[in-house]
Structure 1
């Protein structure tokens, strides 16, 4: 039996009952991934007899979960990614580390090394079970580029500037980006690390001190030059992820920085128009190829309540990681998973997925994803600070000063 509710997070009793579980997820029932998740859980219940109540909390999930913990009503399993507030959950004893279960349940050899690394803290504790992976490239609409006389996606900043001029002359927005939310923040951080080594980027993202870092300032100046050359879409500072995707899929913009989790939303007639690549490089960059991000997204965290029902949790986790279950997410939700996979085995009717797992990794260099290094207490603040960077007239000095103030605070 699958019971669904919206942000109810009613939890289960704390008696150790292993005939029922509660799962808190951001995946709406109407989304492709949410539909597959619920369908798979139906199969799990049919096989095991364990009933699962699925509660949906959207982007407010961390707050909803923490509120439920305070009330003693937390879900047994939380389906979320390892950023922001969840990074404090082990320290606050609201979830349990799972590294021993990863080994005991035979999952370590099946997970990618990157997924294990991303979910393992400096103290060796593993925060949860990584499940969904992603690639985060720049998407290019080849048809719109061609309308502006551009034969290939730009690979250098000079080519990007030239493309932006031609696209605007053709009445096409160059790059849609959610400058007012996390999508803009990620692109901003991607660009400003163009002249940094990976270690230097990690240190800057973790500790601040931006105005006193010449290489980072050079990256911020690169960002402002792209902004002022109108590479980003009009009113980018007010855009969100939703409006960014709408402009790209609506064929109003020729480029966008978006993750592979958007594959399921691509209009069928548009699949052949899309090329995946990296963010074009400036002269003198520390990278050899255009940049993209890669990492993991949602996985399964075990709450203190869930730890009291470990037998049921184990059955749930093992069921989710079965090859046939994983294949369902790949086939029906176009998901990249946090498990080792051979791109040649992916279905031929999903060319974007094959491109993301087979071709993209050899065509790009991967930038440092800031989420693991920006202190969790500052994550929302740096998103707001990045929105300032998209605002016309803000200089590199204004921008670094805003971030340094946040880090000092």
Structure 2
């Protein structure tokens, strides 16, 4: 499950973020000084994370104790913060130049800012020997100029979840692989009296996924990066992406009242899918759990397929939109911090996380622990990925990500044109850059 940029864990409806406990002011002010040891003569490694839910929280604490047992001269001090509180604290710590020894990162723009400020260790040479089996897509968000600055422990991707029974009812034999084929499938579902797509229009971010993927498929990944660098999203590829989304909206594919629908509410997007009231939703790997929680769940009738390719576009069907979580190390942290990351990533523990917490493995060595067919489908897409685009509220400045959410929501509602979307996003991007 992701917790990215402006988007919290609870907003995704997969993990209910709980308030952190036992985090005092002293803990929050000690960053950057833990290499000096303590009164017991041990080296203290301060580890900030956002793992507030069980069983992961217990497993992570257990792993820290196991490391301490193997390294009697090291103490792991865990600071667990709820997602939004963490982002707030880390913003302040980054501004002060004092980061924790080990800290959670989503990669992308925020990590790059920390790197540019000289606050993050370049881990390339120290982790390459044990991350060589990692899925390339899992490492992508943490690599800059071919250097690695964090080690992932989680990875996920957005794609279409679909109701196999409803597809069969509409005469759709296989999931579409092209955008024109996708629009044809929408028409077939409507003709059969089936709502094609469930969408949480009220929350905006689910609609943004469509524009993001269409931009990837039409403009291409290089254009996505260049637009952020140049603060200019007015290129033809981004306008065409908006037009393709407008074409979809014109087919009226969403459930009745979608503009006021939430994601995980009893009458929201996930419930519509989970109760068989819609044939598809575009969502991340957490979707099956939320569908079952908000509705009945589809069981064996649930399937997954990648976002279709757009004919004539520069992107490929095998390029993935998603994100995950990783750990970075502050510049000058004790070597034990890197040793802990290696210990944390060992195959046996990685397999335990997959089995007990539902994480998709970042290492191919841990893939055998993955038994859930839905998560396996996402993992397959990630393993076959030829390119990876980080969630836009991570890859770009937070204000830019929010403007994309807002402007795309306006496009879906019919109050903005594709050109207006690109101009609004560009205006905010230039403002952030100045």
TM-score normalised by the chain length of structure 2: 0.75
Output the CA distance in 2 between the equivalents of 1:73 and 1:214: 42
Is 1:174 matched with 2:197? yes
**Structure 1 unpaired stretches of 5+:** none
Output the CA distance in 2 between the equivalents of 1:112 and 1:240: 33
2, 18, 21: which one pairs with 1:5?
21
Provide the residue aligned with 1:351 in structure 2.
373
Asked if structure 2 preserves the Cα contact closer than 8 Å seen for 1:7 and 1:64, the reply is no
Provide the residue aligned with 2:343 in structure 1.
319
Output the CA distance in 2 between the equivalents of 1:148 and 1:43: 54
Q: Structure 1 residues 38, 380: CA separation in 2 closer, same or farther (over 3 Å shift)?
A: farther
Q: Structure 1 residues 369, 314: CA separation in 2 closer, same or farther (over 3 Å shift)?
A: closer
Offset of residue 206 of structure 1 = 3.6
30, 48, 52: which one pairs with 1:24?
48
After superposition, give the CA deviation of every residue in 1:64-111 in whole Å (9 maximum; x if it has no partner). Answer: 2223456798543212211343331222344433334324xx334233
Asked if structure 2 preserves the Cα contact closer than 8 Å seen for 1:276 and 1:360, the reply is no
**Pairwise mapping of residues 61-140 of structure 1 onto structure 2 (< 5 A)?**
61-68=86-93, 75-103=100-128, 106-122=129-145, 125-140=147-162
Output the CA distance in 1 between the equivalents of 2:203 and 2:321: 22
Provide the residue aligned with 1:188 in structure 2.
211
262, 272, 290: which one pairs with 2:300?
272
After superposition, give the CA deviation of every residue in 1:15-48 in whole Å (9 maximum; x if it has no partner). Answer: 5224544332233324x64454345445445554
Provide the residue aligned with 1:329 in structure 2.
353
Count of aligned pairs between the two proteins: 394
Q: Structure 1 residues 197, 188: CA separation in 2 closer, same or farther (over 3 Å shift)?
A: closer
Offset of residue 300 of structure 1 = 0.6
3-state SS, counterpart of residue 80 of structure 2: strand
After superposition, give the CA deviation of every residue in 1:324-373 in whole Å (9 maximum; x if it has no partner). Answer: 01111222223223323485x344x42223333346766x8757446476
**Pairwise mapping of residues 362-381 of structure 1 onto structure 2 (< 5 A)?**
368-369=389-390, 371=392, 374-375=396-397, 378-381=400-403
Asked if structure 2 preserves the Cα contact closer than 8 Å seen for 1:57 and 1:64, the reply is no
Asked if structure 1 preserves the Cα contact closer than 8 Å seen for 2:198 and 2:279, the reply is yes
Asked if structure 2 preserves the Cα contact closer than 8 Å seen for 1:130 and 1:296, the reply is no
**Pairwise mapping of residues 361-400 of structure 1 onto structure 2 (< 5 A)?**
368-369=389-390, 371=392, 374-375=396-397, 378-400=400-422
Q: Structure 1 residues 113, 173: CA separation in 2 closer, same or farther (over 3 Å shift)?
A: closer
Q: Structure 1 residues 29, 80: CA separation in 2 closer, same or farther (over 3 Å shift)?
A: same
Q: Structure 1 residues 192, 260: CA separation in 2 closer, same or farther (over 3 Å shift)?
A: same
Offset of residue 299 of structure 1 = 0.6
Offset of residue 297 of structure 1 = 1.4
3-state SS, counterpart of residue 53 of structure 1: strand
Q: Structure 1 residues 367, 231: CA separation in 2 closer, same or farther (over 3 Å shift)?
A: farther
Output the CA distance in 2 between the equivalents of 1:208 and 1:286: 20
Aligned-residue RMSD, C-alpha: 3.7
